[in-house]
Structure 1
Amino acid sequence: RSIKPFVIGRGNWLFANTPNGATASTVIYSIIQTAIENELKPQNYLKYVFDQIQIGTDASILLPWSDQIPESCKVKKSQQK
């Protein structure tokens, strides 16, 4: 199930303007899918990560499976499928 979005995305990445653009797209897509798989809200999680990177937070605590991710980034049990 978690591979399906990558298969769909693969077709879209064929139309990236540059190899670097395709790489950037796949990286951000991978981060978003990993956040979803770890029951995080992607938009909240990305905002948190970008805010923390600016202040020099250690990257290891920003990983989607870290126990230090704030509750505001987590999907509440009632919101899960």
Structure 2
Amino acid sequence: MIYSIVETAKANYLNVYQYFELLLPEIPMHMNDANLKFMDELLPGTPRVQENCPSRFKKS
């Protein structure tokens, strides 16, 4: 599962380390949520993630 997240982040030109720094503290805060809508904002293509985790290899 982690390998899949890494490869998806790389395919979306994200800095993998920064992406995990964003995911790991955020996910535990929602462990008791019945609604999983918060995950939509953590997908690689969202503006928040693209802005906070840019790769230096990202094509302009």
Q: State the TM-score, normalized to the length of structure 1.
A: 0.54
- Please state whether the residue corresponding to 1:69 is helix, strand or coil: helix
Q: Which of 28, 51, 58 is the equivalent residue of 1:71?
A: 51
Q: How many residues align?
A: 52
Could you report, residue by residue, the CA deviation over 1:2-34 in whole angstroms, capped at 9, with x for unpaired residues?
xxxxxxxxxxxxxxxxxxxxxxxxx10000000
The answer to whether residue 26 in structure 2 is matched with residue 52 in structure 1 is yes
The answer to whether residue 3 in structure 2 is matched with residue 29 in structure 1 is yes
Larger Rg: 1
Segments of structure 1 that go 5 or more residues without pairing to the other structure are 1-26
After the TM superposition, which segments of 4 or more aligned residues of structure 1 sit over 6 Å from their partners?
Answer: none
Q: State the TM-score, normalized to the length of structure 2.
A: 0.70
Segments of structure 2 that go 5 or more residues without pairing to the other structure are 31-36
Taking only the aligned residue pairs, the percentage that are identical comes to: 31
